[in-house]
Structure 1
């Protein structure tokens, strides 16, 4: 994938870089490994790079458990995890996956642009921050766009392509091909607060939290109302646990600033984040989870 020429249709880029090896960055790396790419993951230090490698390794193990035809050895051989940002210099596509903070992301993108090839495409995995705001400090905003992946990345079906005001047509077309090469469906949206997915999904999730806070029903029953009544594959509270309550809080605060009080985070969400009840990643949120990220049975009616 490049800013000047499209790859072979349905082929993933040969080399992909990911800055940030947390849950999302590791998931993005995993998805590109499954599609055949060599993936460079860059973290801030050796310890974080090792943790990123372990996260991707755990994901590969779970993929093999679901599909014995996957060659884990091949996937691991195409993964590099380190702290040298210069390792991304020859990647055709580089994706920023650092925390959902405007200043942190702008700094990361500026550092990336200084080292990647002039023909490489640069992307952000933001779920709520304006792509145009992030592009404001870049020298080549035409090759920059949002690639909003969903958690868990390897098994999710959607990638939201966010087109900035300066994003080149060819870059958007290449992004569609890349997403399809991952076995996922692309949608293209213009840069707007919350894009399409976060704006709708967060609003539903916040209202579900308010209902739980008001004692309308248990978490399980609120989720069942949406999975059984509206055929949503996962309920809004379980989804919030999977995404991370801290991440959902950050997104809600960003959307509240841009779109007003209907996105104001409920007090329950703020309290749970302050208590460290972040969902699946911490083992407890609206549900309880084991170390492998599997939900544990619970008999609690409310939280």
Structure 2
């Protein structure tokens, strides 16, 4: 992957540990003040091809070894290249916040896949000197739980997705992101975060960016991964450690855009990473009630568990 030289007419952001030069505002990302700083990634509008030579694809996407062309019908077209560049073209009278949501989400996620980062659909907070991840499907409460923990005094590491790299010893590290949380209106109200509410994530949605009280800016070793599950008659509440096989499958199943993982033939990459995370960090299930008034109980469970596994001192 090549570095992109700085250009003065763009803004600079930090996203998933990368410096990004963009020709539009990216609400929720960490703004950098040095507009001349060399960028790892550029995001800019421009002409896009209708087809990629030699590509495979589906109804709204095409892919080669170095490029990924995708259309979000009625909103945006994006060309992601070499893990370093995102070109886009708006469709019709698309609201800019709708376009940015897909650029910083799906588009940047594809770019991180091109860089062969392990990318999990997760939110994360800092516990001691480690990153703790919360995985789950949409609606599992990842951002809400992270928001409650941030309110309780923990630094935000990332929201929505987490980029992980694994060193030569097999130890996983989470790239700092520190983006604003993305929370629905009812979560903002119940967590008393109205004064930190910022721009809407998308037009016509009651979901907003929320400024965290504190966010980490340094890479952190991965401390634990929790798979969120709703308490039901067949699922007892609490924290449990699955087998290595089940834990590995859980991590793989929470890849960000798993269809892209398959299309890019990265299954082995994710299998090896999942096994490494199981061995060096720890994968757990967190089965909990979903009501807002039960969040303090869930945080008590987590803090007790963090003391048990050494992420928090007994005095913390």
Q: Which structure has the highest strand share of the two?
A: 2
TM-score by length of 2: 0.27
Q: Which structure has the highest helix share of the two?
A: 1
